[in-house]
Chain A
């Protein structure tokens, strides 16, 4: 059932009030988005211009002496998201395979409803659970100096993005018709061979999009990360393979943006612009994930037709 073709429906070119309102409302929302993007670029650009490349390469953020170099926050954001995806992607893959390939009928519906319900649990609740249970658990078992670390934030995020990965990949696996599965099974292939030879190749774009959207969510998650990340500025590894900062308190772009430093920053143009530049980065990273995902879907649908 395709979307009803209005080229025929509205060929009389009448301009109804409904149409005017619907265009006006959409224009209003578009204006809001445009203003938001404009704001990020206009307000954030002076900091990039002033600090240059050092903004990304040096970990030196002391607003009291007007030093604004953000490398440690960018590092924190990437490490936290990387940990989250590393844990959540395989588990999410396995769980969505179980829901889509081994469950059917009402157990499947039940499992899916639970997962979608859990996707809606507020991040502040995950944050509280993280403080009370995950943080002491990691502190005890990993011999850390404190429970508030980049690792804690990453593990907490992995739990938070699991429902997103599972429900989107399940949709992708389910979009492959059951006839193809049955054909493959009737040729004597095992369930595992059926999955990897018929379902997975077709569902791969959808699975990649699920991972990308979950990454976007992990990059932008604020409240839960804020509560467990430790919020210690200016920590960077000594070399590329030095994982030490991961086991210590750190800072991410979002935990910086969520802190009360915002109120102090507003009065000082340099400081404010540096803060908005952090937001600009976050926006660019997340939009990268969203838009690549969207392109994959558009390309997939085009090649299918």
Chain B
């Protein structure tokens, strides 16, 4: 009797976890399937190569795509040097475990800040206080701050996995500490850096909330010419606006097309990160 009770408990446990997993994958697969189904038919060469007209009801999303890539590129330029500096400070220059823990908590705090708070703060500081108006650069700075913890923690973990002998050998050859960092540490942790960077950029590409008041408008912008009063269009904001007008079939059709392109960009960056992630795990097993 006791035996059967135990076995049935085990079966319940297994079925519960199996059902949960099937439910999760089922819902997510359904979502992806809908995006591909509805999105694919809405995308054409014309759609991605022409600019929007009639308030998003017709035309394409050329400048939304360009705007999204301007943001990604800005984030790339800002976040790369900053994250290298932060990762080096965390892994090398901090002298004891306690300060390292506090520094890590500081990164977790930035990582945890809700995106809309970045938006409100950016609106206050850049748009109003600095008087920039809406600008692509504000968007780039805010998104950089948001993904900075992801990138620097990934790099810092990569650095901590470098075998100690490498660094000691380099040091014993008489290299200065900067030379050790540039010739051994950074090249050896490169794949961790790239995988963190790509995952961060994928996240940045899809963000809407921090850009609402600071960088993006719905129509009437193309390539920004300066910093002040230079808003851009972006895919997430385009979808966000069209979603609120989704009772119009034409708006909905264009929203699906934009979703499809955005998902392609995000998945492209995430998938590109995969080989680098595998490589950084291999490095760990040397």
Contacts and interface: CB of A to CB of B under 8 A. Distances in A.
Contacts of A123: 206, 208-209
B276 to A, nearest CB: 13
B162 interface: yes
Interface stretch (A67-75, A94-102, A234-242): A94-102
A65 B175 CA distance: 69
Main secondary structure of the interface of B (DSSP, over half): helix
A168 B184 CA distance: 32
B89 A190 contact: no
A5 B199 CA distance: 29
B160 A2 contact: yes
A122 B31 contact: no
A36 B110 CA distance: 10
Contacts of B203: 120
Contacts of A279: 116-117, 120
A18 B94 CA distance: 14
A162 B24 contact: yes
Interface in A73-125: 90-95, 97-99, 101-102, 111, 113-118, 120-125
B20 A93 contact: yes
Nearest to B127: A266
Interface string B253-282: 001000100110011001100100000000
Nearest to B111: A290
Interface stretch (A24-32, A49-57, A174-182): A24-32
Contacts of A213: 112
Contacts of A91: 20, 23-24
Interface in B60-82: 81-82
Contacts of B34: 129, 133
Given A40-B117, A283-B114, A227 B244 contact: yes
B177 A19 contact: yes
A3 B246 contact: no
B18 A290 contact: no
A48 to B, nearest CB: 16
B36 interface: no
Interface of A: 1-4, 6-7, 9-10, 14, 16-19, 21-26, 28-30, 32-33, 35-36, 39-40, 43, 90-95, 97-99, 101-102, 111, 113-118, 120-129, 131-133, 159, 162-163, 166, 190-193, 195, 213, 216, 219-223, 227, 254, 257-258, 262-263, 266, 275-276, 279, 282-283, 286-287, 289-291, 294, 298
